[in-house]
């Protein structure tokens, strides 16, 4: 997105760079270990494109700050790695009328969808409630091939540019699912849930 010239990019993360991040989080390098991820990311994007504005939000997304933070942006790209954050991104984006690009990865697989409030289904139309804690292993527990994160990150960037520039067919109402171990890629139609707790008539 920085290379494409998106004028203002906000980075939000409360963590510091760790050695275990480097195989999949390519904004950071060994010299950045121990430094805040938002600052490391801001410096990397500034080196790539010094003419854009990069805002570092060194904090965790919460129900108290989500709506205010989202209000400053035209589009949200969800790079969260846990279910509470993923549902919070969806709910805050839909309630504030902000489109967002969702993706999730696990080992060799991933999925992605573009959520455009008022134009298609949201994440809760697809998965109404989060799974019970402990029933789905995290990436830290199960592992992930770093290039899978890169594949879906590039897909998210493509969806973001399509939406911002108004060309092509974004993944609105369609879930793209890919198993990169076999290179099986398919899209699944996702209907809007008329009784959705967030994007339905009684949010």
Q: What is the pLDDT of residues 151-161, one digit of tens each?
A: 999 999 999 99
The two structure tokens encoding residue 139: 């990436």
Closest CA to 196 of 136, 139, 129: 129
pLDDT given at position 28: 95
pLDDT bucket at 98, cuts 50 / 70 / 90: very high
**Pairing between strand 53-57 and 174-179?**
unpaired
pLDDT given at position 133: 80
Is the per-residue pLDDT at 138 higher than 80? Answer: no
pLDDT bucket at 9, cuts 50 / 70 / 90: very high
* DSSP type of residue 17: P
pTM of the model: 0.92
Q: How far apart are CA 155 and CA 157, in angstroms?
A: 5
Is the per-residue pLDDT at 46 higher than 80? Answer: yes
* DSSP type of residue 197: T
pLDDT bucket at 135, cuts 50 / 70 / 90: confident
Average pLDDT over residues 23-48: 95
pLDDT given at position 139: 66
Q: What is the mean pLDDT of the chain?
A: 94
Average pLDDT over residues 68-75: 96
Is the per-residue pLDDT at 134 higher than 90? Answer: no
Q: How far apart are CA 201 and CA 203, in angstroms?
A: 6
pLDDT given at position 130: 87
Q: What values do phi and psi take at 90, rounded to 5?
A: -60, -50
Query: Do residues 90 and 82 lie in contact, with contact meaning Cβ atoms separated by under 8 Å?
Result: no
pLDDT given at position 143: 82
């Amino acid at each position: 997105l920085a290379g494409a010239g998106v004028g203002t990019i906000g980075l939000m993360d409360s963590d510091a760079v760790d050695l275990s991040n480097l195989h999949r989080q390519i904004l950071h390098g060994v010299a950045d270990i121990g430094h805040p991820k938002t600052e490391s990311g801001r410096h990397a994007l500034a080196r790539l494109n010094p003419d854009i504005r990069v805002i570092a939000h060194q904090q965790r997304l919460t129900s108290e700050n989500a709506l205010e933070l989202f209000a400053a942006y035209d589009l949200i790209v969800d790079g969260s790695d846990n279910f509470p954050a993923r549902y919070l991104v969806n709910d805050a984006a839909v309630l504030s009328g902000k489109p967002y690009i969702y993706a999730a990865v696990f080992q060799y697989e991933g999925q992605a969808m573009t959520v455009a409030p008022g134009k298609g289904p949201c994440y809760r139309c697809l998965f109404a409630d989060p799974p019970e804690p402990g029933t789905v292993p995290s990436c830290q527990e199960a592992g992930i091939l770093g290039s899978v994160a890169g594949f879906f990150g590039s897909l998210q960037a493509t969806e973001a540019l399509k939406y911002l520039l108004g060309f092509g067919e974004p993944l609105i109402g369609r879930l793209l699912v890919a198993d990169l171990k076999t290179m099986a890629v398919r899209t699944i139609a996702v209907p809007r849930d008329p009784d959705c707790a967030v994007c339905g008539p009684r949010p």
